[in-house]
Amino acid sequence: MISVTLSCKSQKTEWVDLLNYKDFSNWSLFVLKPEKKGNSEAEMQDPPEWLIPRVYLSDDPESSVFTYKEYEGKKVLHISGELLGFLTSKEIYSNYHLRYKFRFGKKWQWLGDRPSDGGIFYHVQNPGTNKEKSPHEFNIHDGDIGSYWSFGGYGDIPSKISPELPNSIKTIIPIIKPVIPSLKDSMYLFDKDGDRRTFSSSIPDMQICVANPIADKPTGEWNELDLICLGDTIIHAVNGKVVTVLYNSKYKPDEAEMVPLTTGAIKIQSEGGEQFVEYIRIRKIHEIPHEFQSAVKD
């Protein structure tokens, strides 16, 4: 457990933008390209299995899913969302504050009734190898941005179970429940004063903790996301509001014993929702930033 008490000495360091707005030399790029090329969006889906596109449309999707472009008078990262894909940082990070500003554009037809989607994976292990693992996700899901999804990571989140779910979650339950059984009519929501429960994709019904409160801006407006990782404590915040706090971040590599998970690469996802990303800034921290301090308990 970490201390959240701020010292008199300033902890602030300069923000560094992880985007250089020219190329992706500090990132590894991967796009899951279907075998077939199509001519229309209608060919990209095969209802009712709206999980992945069946064809691709761009002539060169590996260079079109993630690009830089001019948007509203400034250079931004454009995530087309056409295909599943990832940008993974070549650098490893720990004890940091990440700030990500974006807005959604179009939703690709292959998502069907699912909301626009994307994500920030963090503490990624063995990046760029065939053993790469992405244990924790800050989900960028239109309607419940900041929900926690585990893909092998473990963590304790104060939470409560509730049938009062955001519409974005209710919508996806009948669609992807066959592959995500944690999606149910009642699910766990973050609750600062709730009992701490261990979440992990390895524990039945405990893969997801839904963001609470819902702090998304209306679809198409700019959202600013904060991801704070200090020691084994993690904070998800959306537009200045804390929506999830995870304690005791852990990971079980292969058949080894459980170990603390406090460091790793950062991975940005394309998943059906077009995004315009103004910046992805990061700075080193030694303590929880003041504006988020009250959300964390010893």
pLDDT digits (tens, 9 = 90+) for 105-150: 999 999 999 999 999 999 999 998 889 999 999 999 999 999 999 9
Whether 85 is covered by a domain: the verdict is yes
Q: What is the pLDDT of residues 26-72, one digit of tens each?
A: 999 999 999 999 999 989 887 667 788 999 999 999 999 999 999 99
Burial of 132 from C-beta contacts in 10 A (0-12 / 13-18 / 19+):
middle
Q: What is the pLDDT of residues 159-201, one digit of tens each?
A: 999 999 999 999 999 999 999 999 999 999 999 999 999 999 9
CATH number of the domain to which 124 belongs:
2.60.120.560
Whether 228 is covered by a domain: the verdict is yes
Whether 8 is covered by a domain: the verdict is no
Quick one: pLDDT at residue 4? 39
Whether 161 is covered by a domain: the verdict is yes
Burial of 293 from C-beta contacts in 10 A (0-12 / 13-18 / 19+):
middle
Whether 171 is covered by a domain: the verdict is yes
Overall number of domains in the chain: 1
Range of the domain at 178: 16-295
Whether 146 is covered by a domain: the verdict is yes
User: If DSSP codes are grouped into helix, strand and coil, which group holds residue 290?
Assistant: helix
Which tokens sit at 50?
Answer: 């709206």
Q: What is the mean pLDDT of residues 95-99?
A: 98
Whether 75 is covered by a domain: the verdict is yes
Give the separation between CA 209 and CA 231, rounded to whole angstroms: 20
pTM of the model: 0.94
Whether 4 is covered by a domain: the verdict is no
